[in-house]
Structure 1
Amino acid sequence: MAEKIQAHSNNNDSTLRIELFIARLLRWGVIVSFVIVAIGIGMVLITGQTGYHEIRLDDLNSIVGYNVKPDFPSTLGEVWNGLLALKPYAIIALGLLLLIAIPVMRVTVSVIAFAMERDWLYVALTAIVLLVLLTSFLIGEAGG
């Protein structure tokens, strides 16, 4: 009986540690994301530039042109290149990507936590959720 109580107590301690880790991950992820976005916004306010093509209202070709690049980074490669060039909109995009990644990290940690607890039903269910999340990112199309 004492062994069961000790095992249950150890399991609760492990679960509590994992829940605290997830809470810290979520909290710090949001804080870091906010700081990155704020830096990007600050750069836009200070420089008055986004680092990308600006649509001018007095230039008809820039308004109705079919081949005008968007005025923000729209792929991971563009975000990366923009970060290397310290473009403000790319920095903002990085913060937003981090904010989007936080729930994925939370689900990933949950899969690992359930596996450590040998709760295979929840490992399977959470892995399915993770697969759906990742699939939605891979096949999703921004801007329609």
Structure 2
Amino acid sequence: MEGLTFLRRHVPFIEGGALPTLRDPQYRAFARRELFRRQGGRCLYCEREFTEAGELAMTIEHLKPKMKGGKDGLKNLAAACWHCNQHRGKQMNATKMRKEAEAKVKAKASAVGAKKSVTSPLPTSPREGI
């Protein structure tokens, strides 16, 4: 009977209404069960089986982070072990910082290249000045 109550309460969400959030304990439990079933009880990244506790405990991962506009819908959620979930955030930050550093280096290189490409008033070949 509990499952029917959940479905009655969340049918508008499933049929395209406003998405529920993971703050709702019933939706969070539903999402955890669905993700576990969908991924066969394995982590999205390392593909190890989940355990009840510890580093391989199941956590809910947003594929597109909420900070970047990701939603709590099942299409944007995945199950990851605690270890992978924690390290993915660090990797994303490191990757972001590396890309920003590379962009700064490229910007400096293009600025230096632009200065070198300015035409010199002096002739470059001996016949040019004649």
TM-score by length of 1: 0.29
Q: Is the helix fraction higher in 1 or 2? A: 1
Higher relative contact order structure (alpha carbons within 8 Å, sequence separation ≥ 6): 1
Structure with larger Rg: 2
Structure holding more strand per residue: 2
